[in-house]
A and B are shown apart, each in its own frame.
Chain A
Amino acid sequence: MTQETTTTTTSVQGHSEEGTSFSTPAQSETATTFSAQTLSPAPEQSLIFELSSPGRIAYSLPECDVPRQAADTLIPREMLRSEAAALPEVFEVDVIRHYTALSRRNFGVDNGFYPLGSCTMKYNPKINEDVARYNGFAKIHPYQHESSIQGALELLYTLQNDLAGLTGMDAVTLQPAAGAHGEWTGLMMIRAYHEGRGEQRTKVIVPDSSHGTNPASATVAGFETVTIPSRADGLVDLDALRAAVGSDTAALMLTNPNTLGLFEKDIQEIASIVHQAGGLLYYDGANSNAIMGITRPGDMGFDVVHLNLHKTMSTPHGGGGPGAGPVGVKSRLIPFLPKPMVIKNDDGVYSLDREGDQSIGRVKAYYGNFGILVRAYAYIRTYGPEGLRRVSECAVLNANYMMARLAPYYEIPYPGVCKHEFVMSGRGLKQYGVRTLDVAKRLLDFGYHPPTVYFPLNVEECIMIEPTETESKETLDGFIDTMIRIAKEAEETPELVLNAPYGTPVTRLDETTAARKPVLNCACS
């Protein structure tokens, strides 16, 4: 009980000065806790299985209007289910209230500022949701006769070209389902390219600041990873790169701007070193929101590019997916693209081209995450060429503004201009016993999603902030003021920060026990 009292009181403190305070979900949770005073903690949310009452139903199915035959006369009894799956028995209102309650325990971009570095949590336009739900997009089958899906194929064809134009590449496949999937697809093409030339190139070079998916994708594509250290200024160490490349180099994977938010200004020299060694350059497009219309990977010297449409092109992250990770290539890699590609024939008819002996094959069923591609296309059409450039300009301006204002309070390991994101170090707070994780948790009490923390790995106590272009100066100022306040709290009342958050549906969770004694389902039957 004492614990509860403390929690409630502190959470109110944490909220009172912020005015609007936490998002709708936590406000309501706090309100619940508060109105219940200290009599009982905020209730746990039941599992849907726990709401079950035998005999209730929530479904409505068409009648069986054909002569019914006993199932075991059509399928041998031993192949039929011996007992029904123990699914819950609830009615429709239970379902709606359950998922509504769950949604209120979740935080999205529509709830508030979400400066999660490397993830580009920009606003997800509503019109894009509408168009993706049109029957002619949502209720079409991948194996329909091509003549009956000309509208869909036209959209895909146009998007292939738009993304090629945006990145400066010669052709784009829309098949990969996500960024990491795109990385793997690109690496498989690079492998096929080298093998096609009779060369055994087994190594993929990545900087130590790279996304974890880069080396993982290289492994799954059958390569060994060579990690090279970054220079003190955060950029690729050209000498280390020169020492690393050789006749076994298949590719260098690079993010530019890199994961520190810095533009690799030596990119032409980097490209030249890798190309002279016979390797190819792979562009991880996670940070494309910094460069649209300003520079293109194809012009920097990259041979393969993937884009994360769920980042740069505003398609919603969906709580972890679905995304889309199209891959663009220079002409010499076109023969290796996954099949099929969408082509436009001389008579103006669109079709799916399945030919190609050198293709790496198929990386996903059907043609990619079409519903996501529809949204990305709508996004491009909403901005047009000039608008996309403005997107990147504002994303970069916002990031530099935040960095400038936060610099007096948090260590900026790489001063100067950044691109769409920047990193800070929270190590200055360690003297008070406060770590970056604690700062992140304290931010929750003020209605913010924390930045990315502890990545990249080469910055101690890293805090990585990416504001995106869809946030106003007022929002940025509010967040900055809160970060400054937390830095002061860490110094003056570290316990307050260490025990945060207070106003959320649950406090910090025991992740160690979760991993040591895994409970991974409700084991209902």
Chain B
Amino acid sequence: MSKHRYIPMTEQDQSAMLATIGVDSLEELFQDIPKEIRYQGELPVSSKLDEYALTRHMSKQAGANANFETHASFLGAGIYDHHVPSVINHVISRSEFYTAYTPYQPEISQGELQAIFEFQSYICELTGMAVANASMYDGATAFAEAGNLAAAATRRKQLIVSRTVHPEARQVLQAYAHGLRLEIVEIGYKDGVTDWDALQAAISDDTAAVMIQSPNFFGAVENVKQAADLVHAHKGLLVVSANPLSLGLLEAPGKLGADIVVGDAQPLGIAASLGGPTCGYFAVSQPHMRRIPGRIVGQTTDRNGKRGFVLTLQAREQHIRREKATSNICSNQALLALSASVYMSIMGKQGMIDVADLNLQKSHYTLNTLTAISGVSLTFKTPTFNEFVIKLPEGTDVDALQLELLDAGFIGGYELGRDYPELAGHMLIAVTERRSKEEIDEFARALEGSL
């Protein structure tokens, strides 16, 4: 009998347990599986490694990847290289948190429940909204679920989406909308922000929601208030996707008229991890409280009158409503919501302002430095937060440029031609507080040298 460090079953155990059950062999426990479908032979999966061999194998695999410690990153487009305070990993490494299930038994899950309640409170503070949920899979799925909510709340089928929204969020929205048979209308952009004339022309009394992102995919700050006024005139809803870190500095979308605010909390102390797991957030104004998808934690009292927390408003959820559910989301991203909460606790009132301001300052210094390079120009003139678009000289081989930058120790920006054919040869540059003036200057030299 093979032994394994995670399995305590000894031969004596096995014999004793089989005897208690009243069978002679393990095989008898599998008699109900027909012979024809019993798997014969060894499973075609990777071979076994001891713990040391596993660490060697995986550190070799990890070592084959350029990362934020080996290279200075100027890549953003939804995932950012922010400083992650040391405290976060210590908190999320406490196994009382990470080895727990969804807090269905509130008496022994008060820690998790309170942490989620605080996360909801943080998100409401940042976004200026009345109610936030316990989190979603990521920003893109939160965006798509916002479309579903808007359609259900307005009983309308049309969603108007700006092309300045993250391309992958729009793709996920497309997939979800196809599921629920909703219509998606995309609106173009002008000088890096939503084309307001086109938007105004498109909105009608059939419009369930206008869906924008601010700062948008190009880094530009959208006029949230204007969007709200336009869609509210037709009794539709405004969905805003917002980078939560930018909200240290930018006005809360809730104060500008947003009905649903969503986004990805990755900038708040969550590892990039090739794009996942991150944590979507989802916040609504009061009238939509009972339509919000996913888990929600509420405050209550125990039999002694003591404050406590429980999962609440569960009548909305799939395990109660089954086929009548409006969303099938079951899990949330609790551990990453915890990361984001710890981040906001560490940053506090002043830190959130300071980190947002550092992003603003360093990205604008970079903007000025890069556009001083001959042949490189700024594509859009609208105000930006920590990302901006540059046009590379005509005929630049962007793929070759990326490889040269990697060799020089940099992860280059995002090539926009991939999603916006009209922007081939344009690069989206992101600059966080982690980039020093020296790195920025060196990056500019490397870029100039490669052109």
Binding between chains A and B: yes
Which residues of B from 88 to 117 have beta carbons under 8 Å from A? 89-91, 93-112, 114-117
Q: Please, could you name 11 A-B residue pairs with CB atoms under 8 Å apart, sorted by A?
A: A61-B351, A62-B433, A106-B97, A152-B274, A165-B44, A268-B37, A365-B139, A417-B32, A469-B7, A509-B301, A523-B124
Q: Are A511 and B312 in contact (CB under 8 A)?
A: yes
Q: Are B48 and A381 in contact (CB under 8 A)?
A: yes
A47-B114, A381-B48 in contact; A504/B97 too (CB < 8 A)? no
A510 vs B196: C-alpha distance when bound (angstroms): 49
A330 within 8 Å of B (CB atoms): no
* Nearest chain A CB to B293 CB, angstrom units: 10
Stretch of A243-251, A369-377, A488-496 that contacts chain B:
A369-377
Q: A108-B97, A444-B108 are in contact. Are A152 and B45 (CB under 8 A)?
A: no
Q: Does A219 contact B (CB under 8 A)?
A: yes
Are A138 and B273 neighbours in the complex by a CB distance under 8 Å?
yes
Is B36 positioned at the interface, with any CB of A under 8 Å from its CB? yes
Cα A58 to Cα B347 in complex, Å, equals 6
Q: Does B249 contact A (CB under 8 A)?
A: yes
User: Do A25 and B111 form a contact, CB below 8 Å, given A74-B383, A123-B6?
Assistant: yes
Asked if A232 is at the interface (CB within 8 A of a chain B CB), the reply is no
Find out whether the CB atom of B137 lies under 8 angstroms from the CB atom of A136. no
Taking the closest CB of chain A, its distance from the CB of B448, in whole angstroms, is: 18
Structural contact, B168 and A507, CB atoms closer than 8 A: no
Check if B348 sits within 8 Å of A506, measured CB to CB: no
Cα–Cα, bound, A67→B437 (Å):
10
A178 to chain B, nearest CB (A): 5
A506 to B124, CA, bound (A): 26
* Interface members, chain B 261-296 (any A CB < 8 Å): 264, 271-279, 289, 295-296
* B298:A520 contact, CB within 8 angstroms: yes
Q: Check if A481 is an interface residue, CB within 8 A of chain B.
A: no
Given A144-B411, A151-B63, A165-B44, A220–B179 Cβ distance below 8 Å?
A: yes
Contacting pair B97 A103 (CB below 8 A)? yes
Checking A68, A86, A89, A472 against B125 with a beta-carbon cut-off of 8 angstroms, the contacting residue is A86
Besides A45-B114, A58-B85, A81-B247, 7 more A-B contacts (Cβ < 8 Å) are A74-B360, A86-B125, A87-B348, A99-B345, A213-B318, A321-B334, A472-B9
**Which of B73-81, B153-161, B227-235 lies at the binding interface?**
B73-81
Among A62, A183, A391, max chain B CB count under 10 A is at A62
Q: Given the complex, which residues of B lie within 8 Å of A23, measured CB to CB?
A: 108
A369 to chain B, nearest CB (A): 4
Chain B residues within an 8 Å CB radius of A389:
43
Pick from A80, A224, A321, A398 the residue with the most CB of B within 10 Å: A321
Given the complex, which residues of A lie within 8 Å of B28, measured CB to CB? 417
- Total count of chain B residues near the partner, CB < 8 A: 216
Q: A332 at the A/B interface (Cβ < 8 Å)?
A: no
* A87 in contact with B332 (CB, 8 Å): no
A392-B294 Cα distance, complex, nearest whole Å? 32
Residue of A nearest to B123 (CB): A521
Q: How far does the alpha carbon of A473 sit from the alpha carbon of B355 in the complex, in Å?
A: 53
Number of residues from A at the complex interface, CB < 8 A: 218
A181 interfacial contact with B, CB 8 Å: yes
Give A151 to B352 CA distance when docked, in angstroms.
35
B333 adjacent to A322 (CB under 8 Å): yes
Please report the C-alpha to C-alpha distance between residue A374 and residue B414 in the assembled complex, in whole angstroms.
25
B 108-137 to A, binary, CB cutoff 8 A, 1 in contact else 0: 111110111110111011100001101101
Residues in B with CB closer than 8 Å to A105 are: 108-111, 114
Report the minimal beta-carbon distance from B308 to chain A, rounded to whole angstroms. 4
Give the complex CA separation of A215 and B326 in angstroms: 11
Which residue in B39, B91, B179 is a CB contact (below 8 Å) of A296?
B39
State whether A370 touches B274 (Cβ < 8 A): yes
Q: How far is the CB of A3 from chain B (nearest CB, A)?
A: 6
The residues of A that contact B201 with a CB separation of less than 8 Å are none
> Are A180 and B329 in contact, CB atoms less than 8 angstroms apart?
yes
Q: Which residues of B contact A319 (CB under 8 A)?
A: 97-98, 100-103, 109, 112, 115, 334-335, 338
Interface string of A164-185 (1 = CB under 8 A from B): 0110100000000111110110
Q: Which of A360-387 contact B (CB under 8 A)?
A: 360-372, 374, 377-378, 380-387
- B175 at the binding interface (Cβ < 8 Å): yes
- Inter-chain contacts of A44 with B (CB < 8 A): 306-307
**Bound Cα distance from A41 to B327, whole angstroms:** 41
| A424 at interface, CB cutoff 8 A | no
Give Cα distance in the complex from A188 to B324, angstroms.
Answer: 18
The stretch of B18-26, B203-211, B373-381, B389-397 that contacts the partner chain: B18-26
Known contacts A360-B175, A365-B168; A181 and B65 CB within 8 A of each other = no
